[in-house]
Amino acid sequence: MIAVALSGGVDSMAAAILLHDRGERLMGISMRLQDDLPDQAHLKRAEELCRKLGIGYHLIDLSQAFDSIRGYFCESYLAGLTPNPCAVCNRDMKFGLLLERARALGADALATGHYVRREVFKDRYSLSRAAWKNSQEYFLGLLPQDVLRHAIFPLSDMSRPAAEDLVRRIGLDVPKQASSQDVCFIRGDYADFIRDVTGHRPTPGRIIDMHGRIVGSHRGALHYTIGQRKGLGMGFGRRVFVLDVDQRENTVTIGDRSEWPHHGFFLDDVNFMRIESLQTPREVTIKVRYKQEPLAATIHPTREGLWVDYPDLFAPGQLAVGYDPDGTILLAGFIRAPGRKRPDAGRTWNLMRQDDNGHRFLVSAHASKLEAQQALAALEGGHHKQMYWIEPV
């Protein structure tokens, strides 16, 4: 039995239709992340599709657990980091809690509408580019081996226009929707969202150059990310980039690309995909954002972790994905600039659970995120009637 994660959008519906046409035993499953996510129109389309295909449908409420994704998003920005909520949500929610609930309902695997290709090499599962130009393997770089073993991606050889035609073929409307890389839980400006969730209100501050000289003013450091070139609020007579954001000092540093002070970064919370570990330097290509062609880089194992020689701008906190020459993911992790402490340093993490009645309980407290993740992994497969997750204190 395959559970198909249905958002009510074109891609997930097309994935279900393809699997149904192949004669697979299916169920549809959707996750409710907040009151309007997905909205009723999308949920109605998911239900209608399941009726047309003659398969069961389940709606799973993960709204309380989703608080951890919103919290991660806000805390990252307030710490001067650039988060990647889509990658974290794919790991923790869709291929974490939703997969667990699907297996509790009798499914052996979870299929999604991602444009990505799954491969197996020497008993290790990995992801690579799909045929469609907007391949989404980057956003799935954090998926561990025990998840990839149960993951199915039917759209690996299909384009988005072909998926739309497939949905129209069975008499369903093709909805207009935001592309998958948009932050689904934010309507409007992300700084307004952070203000509404945390109460933090950005205040005007100084724009400085690499020598510390004041060259302008900004409307709040929260509105800026490293590498940003447009939307600086004023002209500088030349092409400049945001080279640093200091939330504590409320300053934004700008300069020429040639003034970028770093020659690489560390990788935190590394997920090894095609390779099991890295013991010697390795030539790879690296993506540090979704809409980017991979750049040549070298990864070195060091006492402080994996170091990436990288020749261009990067945003601390973002996801970096390393590829082999064939475009297959070798590993992925979060970017940490040299000299910057790990974002979870000095924090404690709780392992939480939610029972079938929606009540939240503390399972255990841990001194680091890694320890909490290890405790969570130890529970996988043995407690399908309850949901588990980790969250910072």
The residues carrying an active-site annotation are 89, 184
Is residue 166 within 8 Å of residue 172, measured between CB atoms? no
- Which residues are CB-contacts of 40 (< 8 A; sequence separation ≥ 6)? none
Partners of 388 in the beta sheet? 353
Q: Which of 384, 375, 370 is nearest to 352 (CA)?
A: 375
226 sits in the region (left: phi over 0; alpha: psi -120 to 50; else beta) called beta
DSSP 101-137: HHHHTT-SEEE-----EEEEETTEEEEE--SSTT--G
Q: How far apart are CA 371 and CA 373, in angstroms?
A: 5
Report the run of H or E that residue 165 belongs to, with start and end. Answer: helix 160-169
Is residue 299 within 8 Å of residue 308, measured between CB atoms? yes
For 41, the token pair is 């129109």
Is the N-terminal amide bond of 316 cis, ω within 30° of 0?
Answer: no
Opening angle at CA 279, ends 277 and 284, nearest 5: 75
- Which residues are CB-contacts of 237 (< 8 A; sequence separation ≥ 6)? none
Strands (DSSP E) along 45-85, which ranges? 56-61
For 366, the token pair is 């841990």
In the numeric block, the tokens 């398969």 are attached to 55
Is residue 76 within 8 Å of residue 317, measured between CB atoms? yes
